[in-house]
Amino acid sequence: MIIRATILALILNFSAFAHGIFYELVDGAVGVRVTAPNNIPISNANVTIYAPEASLPFVNGKTDVNGNFAFMPDSHGQWRVVINVDSDHGGHIKDFKITIDENRKVDEFEKTPYERYMKMLSVLGLLLGLFGIIVLIKNRKKDTTK
């Protein structure tokens, strides 16, 4: 009797695990966040990811409520990301590349022109501002001598 109860308990215990939901966290995912220029997340943007030297999509989907989309690259190389956001006046498409290293981590990615030239524009603005202040001071000195 005890043997039957033990066997029955083991069988019921194994069948309980057969219908569960399991999860694990996996390192190596690459996340892309899609936002409007004022940093407002864009949900439901179409995202298509192409593996290195592939013409067919590796994965495609939509961004979540916070504008996030993630994928797990299975090889290193240069991955292509295409983001398509529909709007009232047509679609907006961004196409850029992400370089994944041998450890499946992001090595580098193409930044937006704003991010690429931000330092240069900041220095240019600073120089023009200093030049403007110098010209203003020189003109004031000329006006007081008259």
Is there a single domain that holds both residue 33 and residue 90? yes
Is there a single domain that holds both residue 34 and residue 99? yes
Average pLDDT value for residue range 97-113: 81
Give the per-residue pLDDT at 73.
92
Amino acid identity at 139: N
Confidence of residue 68 (pLDDT cuts 50, 70, 90): very high
Is there a single domain that holds both residue 67 and residue 136? no
Per the model's pLDDT, the better-predicted residue between 76 and 22 turns out to be: 76
Report if residue 60 sits inside a domain. yes
Q: Which range of residues forms the domain containing residue 53?
A: 29-110
Per the model's pLDDT, the better-predicted residue between 141 and 126 turns out to be: 126
| Helix, strand, coil percentages in the chain from 3-state DSSP, rounded to 5 | 35, 30, 40
The pLDDT of residue 64 is above 90: yes
The pLDDT of residue 85 is above 70: yes
- pLDDT 10s digits, 25-56: 667 788 889 888 778 889 999 999 999 999 99
Is there a single domain that holds both residue 123 and residue 60? no
Report if residue 118 sits inside a domain. yes
What is the pTM assigned to this prediction? 0.62
Number of domain units in the chain: 2
Per the model's pLDDT, the better-predicted residue between 133 and 62 turns out to be: 62
Is there a single domain that holds both residue 104 and residue 116? no
**How much of the chain exceeds pLDDT 70, in percent?**
73
Is there a single domain that holds both residue 37 and residue 81? yes
Is there a single domain that holds both residue 54 and residue 71? yes
Average pLDDT value for residue range 19-23: 56
* H helix intervals, 69-112: none
Average pLDDT value for residue range 130-135: 86
Asked if residues 72 and 24 have their Cβ atoms less than 8 Å apart, the reply is no
Query: For residue 27, how many other CB atoms are within 10 A of its CB?
Result: 8
Q: What angle do CA 61, 30, 42 make, to 5 degrees?
A: 50
